[in-house]
Amino acid sequence: MDNNMDKLIMQAYATPPVRANIVNKGMISLYCDYSGCTDQNAHGVACCFVYNRTILVRAKNLNQHYDGGSDFGELQAIVFSLQILTEALIAHQMSTVPKFAVVFTDCHGITKILAKTIFHNPYYEEVRNEILASLSGLQAMFPEIQVRVTYISNHKKNNPLHKMAHNAARKSIGK
């Protein structure tokens, strides 16, 4: 773990509303973010997985030749986070099963995008369908856990957990 990550973890524990998400046994929090540099055709996503005093950060580079803009990248970050959540729930039979899993995104239009039925861009429709299928699959496999995707809004400001995802997404594209 690097020094910056250590500082962010200490800051997370020192911030009461953020610390509440870290120590919560009833909720898994996933903070996701996208970073892109169109002139270098570099796109990356990251997720900070938080549950019961465990903080894990994963990132991946998206090898896409299409830049659908920031919202499209944020949707890709949500897909990545839902994959991480699914893997975690399948791999670990948790002694205390959480009641909720919340994917926090800084895509301000997420509610509208997920509810939208007509898209001018097929890429958006494909990724929206992938998110909805993942949510449906999670509900079928783990009916006791309510999974939702929500806009982080004011929770983002000075949130070290989201900052970890942000930094990891930028690092994945070499920034």
Domains of the chain: 3-172 (3.30.420.10)
- DSSP for 56-118 reads EEEEEEE--S----HHHHHHHHHHHHHHHHHHHHHH---SS--SEEEEEE--TTHHHHHH---
95 vs 161: which has the higher pLDDT: 161
Mean pLDDT of 101-111: 91
Tell me the percentage of the chain whose pLDDT exceeds 90: 54
Most confident stretch, 27-31, 35-39, 124-128: 27-31
Calculate mean pLDDT across residues 135-144: 94
Predicted confidence at residue 16, as pLDDT, reads 87
Average pLDDT score over residue span 77-85:
97
Mean pLDDT of 148-170: 87
pLDDT of 60 higher than 70:
yes
Read off the pLDDT band of 156 (50, 70, 90): low
Which pLDDT band holds residue 155 (cuts at 50, 70, 90)?
A: low
Residue 7 three-state SS: helix
User: Of residues 24 and 30, which shows the higher confidence score?
Assistant: 30
Higher pLDDT, 64 or 59: 59
State the maximum Cα–Cα separation within the chain, in Å, rounded to a whole number: 47
Q: What is the pLDDT of residue 139?
A: 95
Question: What's the confidence (pLDDT) of residue 38?
Answer: 75
Confidence of residue 37 (pLDDT cuts 50, 70, 90): confident
